[in-house]
Chains A and B, each alone.
Chain A
Amino acid sequence: MSTATITPAPVAPATQRPARAIPAPIPFTRILGVELRKMFDTRSGFWLMASIVITSAVATVLTVLLSDREDLTFDSFAAAVGSPMSIILPIVGVLAVTSEWSQRTALTTFTLVPSRGRVIGAKLVNTLAIGAVSMVIALGVGALGNLVTSAITGNAAVWDIPVWQFSQIVLANEMGMLFGFALGLLFRSSPAGIVGYFVWALVLPGISEALASAQQWWLDNNAWFDVNGTRFLLFDSTLTGQEWTQLGVTAVIWILLPLLVGLRLVMRSEVK
């Protein structure tokens, strides 16, 4: 069979449509708004977001009820509320990307906005914004718990989280979200992304520790490679200049690099 190329003879259309104005390009703010809406408009999306508030509230209530109330400070609540955040927020990051593939909505999304970079960019901005807002909500719920405790015990509430520490906690959580986001881009599969995150956050630190106990070089130098080690410092210490550098280096290795590789994959991959 020949590779004949066949074009039906051009036939004048019955009626020519009047020439139309070329529509204005889609502004980024609109993509941002649509992508944000898409994170909340399904039951699973809505409850994932709601769980941020719910788990903060539950953690706070449990802290008030079960701890020794005399010793409770704002920091106790921040710690209680912080642990569910550190799990939920990265999952938000993963799912922000992967839901497009697991539900195959990418087909529609990328035909309406062919520039994939703009869609991913909008998702990234929304993810980081949700992270920051969630942290403020969590802090607010924790503060409420702190006030309730002081009302119960009659002691003055202890506010022992300065702004710098709160900013560091937000940064640590945003880094977790970014890594989740990068995994989402890399795998484009929700289960793979979520499992990947837990391996990174729960399994790798153990391996690193085991390695450090067996090998002197790793013990001395792991801070340059182990992002979790440096990231965890953000929660409760003032970082030295070297530690900030190590945080930057590990963030480049573990977050920026996967993000760029994942982005490149998404830009080139076939959407089916």
Chain B
Amino acid sequence: MITIDSLTKRYGAFTAVDEVSFTAQPGRVTGFLGPNGAGKSTTMRVMVGLTEPTSGHVHVLGRPFAALPNPGREVGVLLDASAQHAGRTGREILTIAARTMGLPKGRVADMLQRVSLTEEESGRRVRNYSLGMRQRLGIATALLGDPEVLILDEPANGLDPAGIRWMRDLLREFADQGGTVLLSSHLLHEIEVIADDIIVIGNGRIVAGGTKQELLASTGTLARAADAATLARALEVAGIVTSVADGAVFADADLPTVGRTAFAAGIALTELRTADGAGLEEMFLELTAESQRDAHVHTEGTAA
């Protein structure tokens, strides 16, 4: 469990993190989504005590990070997979961390296996690692102490699609066992695939948050029938706000409601799905528009 309470970080006149509050729950994967420079990394650095906040506080497992007696045993952290001594081998980096945490020797080999780094790869110096391998090593470091909480900054960066899938499964399993996962990304797709809860940050402020279902639901449903106008009328009668475009009806309601309403009205639907043409992406772009560098680029007819 991570609790962030009115966290603010200012650099001179610039406010990097502005009154951010949210909670990452145990048993859930919380996605921290925002464009580059939105304040994700700063927030995460404050969480683990690397940056002093201007005001507000963060509690991890009920206490400030710095008060954890042996943080690696309770909180796994990966902030930047490239922030390692290029001249150390992967195995050595894990060994140092394991020794600091006071873990038995065999733990390093277990973790290397867990993140699919081979014996040969673990003996290579990190300067010869691909970004994907560094991420795996970083995740191994985070998991090393068998923590209850994971804090991962852009962990999917540099992973190939198979790697992203692997990480998704790994984090899923971790959360299903009651662990808390907070991961950040500037890529909506990654978050959409991995997270249960989503916090969207833009310009240092939280602009949206909730379960993935809630956020997806708010983007509505797309339905088609032989006669779009009839379908739209039936939905309006049921009190659902609709709009018709391209022969499709966009309804501001979830899938079962639209389906049931159409069924009750005796209308055969030819298509029923979330309006994912826009989906979270539209929301993400919309919500973070003011903090986007390319704010002037209007995303019309976005295909996800």
Give A contacts to B, CB under 8 Å. Answer: 1, 3-17, 20, 22-26, 30-31, 33-34, 37-38, 41-45, 99, 103-105, 107-108, 110-115, 268, 270-272
- Which of A17, A38, A108, A270 is in CB contact (< 8 Å) with B45? A270
- Which of B68, B100, B176 is in CB contact (< 8 Å) with A34? B100
Q: Chain B residues with Cβ under 8 A from A37's Cβ? A: 96, 99
Given known A37-B99, A103-B84, contact A25–B206 (CB-CB < 8 A): no
Q: Chain B residues with Cβ under 8 A from A268's Cβ? A: 52
- Bound CA span A125–B160, Å: 44
Contact B177 A25 (CB under 8 A): no
Contact A7 B148 (CB under 8 A): no
Task: Confirm or deny: B225 has a beta carbon within 8 angstroms of a beta carbon on chain A.
Answer: no
Contact A108 B141 (CB under 8 A): yes
Contact B50 A15 (CB under 8 A): no
Contact A23 B74 (CB under 8 A): yes
Interface of A is mostly: loop
The 9 A-B pairs of least Cβ separation, nearest first, read: A13-B27, A6-B209, A17-B178, A5-B21, A104-B83, A42-B87, A25-B69, A114-B66, A8-B197
The chain B residue with its CB closest to the CB of A104 is: B83
Q: Chain B residues with Cβ under 8 A from A41's Cβ? A: 88, 92, 96
Contact A8 B211 (CB under 8 A): yes
The chain B residue with its CB closest to the CB of A9 is: B211
- Interface centre among A7, A15, A34, A43, by most chain B C-beta atoms within 10 angstroms, is A7
Q: Can you spell out 26 A-B residue pairs with CB atoms less than 8 angstroms apart? A: A3-B19, A3-B206, A5-B6, A5-B19, A8-B199, A8-B209, A10-B25, A13-B26, A14-B176, A15-B177, A16-B26, A16-B27, A17-B26, A24-B69, A24-B102, A30-B100, A34-B100, A37-B96, A38-B96, A45-B87, A107-B80, A111-B49, A112-B71, A112-B100, A112-B101, A115-B66
- Bound CA span A6–B32, Å: 12
Contact A111 B79 (CB under 8 A): yes
- Bound CA span A26–B96, Å: 14
Chain B, residues 63-106, CB within 8 Å of chain A (1/0): the string is 00110111111100101101111111000110011011110000
Given known A3-B205, A26-B69, A41-B88, contact A111–B48 (CB-CB < 8 A): yes
Given known A8-B197, A8-B210, contact A114–B177 (CB-CB < 8 A): no
- Which of B6, B86, B93, B205 is in CB contact (< 8 Å) with A1? B205
- Which of B50, B77, B290 is in CB contact (< 8 Å) with A270? B50
Contact B92 A6 (CB under 8 A): no
Chain B, residues 56-68, CB within 8 Å of chain A (1/0): the string is 0000000001101
Give B contacts to A, CB under 8 Å. Answer: 6, 18-23, 25-28, 30, 45, 48-52, 65-66, 68-74, 77, 79-80, 82-88, 92-93, 96-97, 99-102, 141, 148, 175-179, 196-197, 199, 205-211, 290
CB distance from B40 to the nearest CB of A (A): 14
The chain A residue with its CB closest to the CB of B41 is: A272
Q: Chain B residues with Cβ under 8 A from A110's Cβ? A: 49-50
CB distance from A188 to the nearest CB of B (A): 14
- Bound CA span A153–B300, Å: 93
- Bound CA span A20–B179, Å: 12
- Bound CA span A64–B116, Å: 55
Contact A14 B99 (CB under 8 A): no
- Interface centre among B20, B28, B83, B148, by most chain A C-beta atoms within 10 angstroms, is B83
Q: Chain B residues with Cβ under 8 A from A10's Cβ? A: 23, 25
- Which of B27, B28, B50, B72 is in CB contact (< 8 Å) with A107? B50
The chain B residue with its CB closest to the CB of A105 is: B85
The chain B residue with its CB closest to the CB of A45 is: B87
Q: Chain A residues with Cβ under 8 A from B70's Cβ? A: 23-26
CB distance from B98 to the nearest CB of A (A): 10
Given known A15-B27, A37-B96, contact A5–B65 (CB-CB < 8 A): no
The chain A residue with its CB closest to the CB of B99 is: A34
Q: Chain B residues with Cβ under 8 A from A108's Cβ? A: 83-84, 93, 97, 141
Contact A114 B71 (CB under 8 A): yes
The chain A residue with its CB closest to the CB of B198 is: A8
Q: Chain A residues with Cβ under 8 A from B22's Cβ? A: 5-8
Contact B48 A3 (CB under 8 A): no
Contact A107 B79 (CB under 8 A): yes
- Interface centre among A5, A26, A112, by most chain B C-beta atoms within 10 angstroms, is A112
Contact B100 A13 (CB under 8 A): no
Contact A33 B99 (CB under 8 A): yes
Contact B71 A4 (CB under 8 A): no
Q: Chain A residues with Cβ under 8 A from B79's Cβ? A: 107, 111
